[in-house]
Amino acid sequence: MGALAWCSRQMPYIDADSGRFYYRHWAAEQPRAAVIFLHGFGENISLYHRLAFTLNAAGFDFWAVDQLGHGLSPGERGDFGPISHSAGLAEALTALAEEATPDIPLVLQGHSFGAAVAISILLDSPQRYAAGVLSGAPLVPVPELLNSDSSFELDLAILSADPFYLDALENDPLGFADADSHALARALDTIWDSLGTELPTLAVPTLAVHGAVDAIAPVGAVRAYAEQIEPLEVVEFPGARHDILNETVHREVAAAIVAFLDRVLG
């Protein structure tokens, strides 16, 4: 992995040149596929227990890692580093999944910034994963991010209407809704610059679940791409906001993901 050389024996951390990255494996009793998950800005993997348990019940292992600048992992708050760093973490996590459960299909899933990274990986390595799942995918530039002078702060009310999730965000000492926007914009720019020409080459069956009133990554861009790209399909949820995996409709969203994986993986 080059700069992200790792050691699988020192759980629950991935050891990298840039530090030790906390990860978690939610294990299904008899896994039929392994889902590799990348979270979004300001988040950490503790926010995804509900999704993990639902996927476990459907027979899917769930692997997630706190990315650079997030959760229990090192780094400046909110700074994911270059896309290659997140991609390296995804590959390290994928290797752990392969070691734990050889010979089962691999699925790459990402939310928000993690979805942008997932798209990049699926385009670069179409044979690595059997399927992809995206949520809140920012397929076009985010005006609030690009127009910010240096700071970027999210209003929690535009993320979700789920009171339990909002309470978790407000009281999570590892979570945050503000950070320097320059690093985030730089990382996303590397994807936005080429996405228009590269995304039509997507070959991996990919589901995008998206809130119809997502104010950060409007669903229109995802819908337009899905109409043109056969392997990409979108399921919209009326009234749902950006953090669709932790919205009031999170059960319906998880059910849509399970149904997609059942159909694609067989």
Reported as a single tens digit per residue, the pLDDT across 205-242 is: 999 999 999 999 999 999 999 999 999 999 999 999 99
- pLDDT band for 4, please (50, 70, 90 cuts): very low
Q: What percent of the chain has pLDDT over 70?
A: 91
**pLDDT reported for residue 253:** 99
**Superfamily of domain 22-265 in the CATH hierarchy:** Alpha/Beta hydrolase fold, catalytic domain (3.40.50.1820)
Q: How many CB atoms lie within 10 A of CB 266?
A: 8
DSSP state of 207: E
Distance between CA atoms of 24 and 45, rounded to whole angstroms? 8
Q: Taking Cα atoms as reference points, which of 30, 122, 37, 102 lies closest to residue 71? A: 37
Q: What number is the average pLDDT over the span 44-72?
A: 97
Please compute the mean of the pLDDT values over residues 186-194 and round it to a whole number: 85
Average pLDDT in the chain: 91
pLDDT band at 203 (very low <50, low <70, confident <90, very high): very high
pLDDT of residue 147: 58
Look at residue 150 and tell me whether its pLDDT is greater than 80.
Answer: no
What is the average pLDDT across 104-118?
98
Helix (H) / strand (E) containing 180: strand 178-180
| Cα 133 to Cα 222: distance, rounded to the nearest angstrom | 13
pLDDT score, position 7: 40
Contact 105, 49 (CB under 8 A): no
The average pLDDT across 78-107 equals 96
- pLDDT band at 18; cut points 50, 70, 90: confident
Which residue has tokens 């337009």? 224
pLDDT above 90 for 17: no
pTM, two decimals, is 0.93
- The predicted pLDDT at position 141 comes to 84
Domain boundaries, the chain: 22-265
Burial 191-214 (b: 16+ CB within 10 A, else e): bbeebeeebeebebbbbbbbbebb
Burial (Cβ within 10 Å: 0-12, 13-18, ≥19) of residue 96: buried
The dihedrals phi and psi of 61, each to the nearest 5 degrees, come to -65, 150
Angle at which helices 250-265 and 49-57 cross, to 10°: 40
Average pLDDT, integer, range 106-111 = 99
Query: What pLDDT is attached to residue 169?
Result: 87
> Is the per-residue pLDDT at 145 higher than 70?
no
Q: Averaged over 14-26, what is the pLDDT?
A: 93
For residues 76 and 73, give the distance between their C-alpha atoms in angstroms, rounded to a whole number: 10
Residue type, 148: S
Lowest mean pLDDT among 67-76, 131-140, 186-195, 254-263: 186-195
Q: Is the pLDDT of residue 2 over 50?
A: no
Q: Which residues of 132-167 are buried (b: 16+ CB within 10 A; e: fewer)?
A: bbbbbbbbbbbeebeebeeebebeeebbbbbeebbe
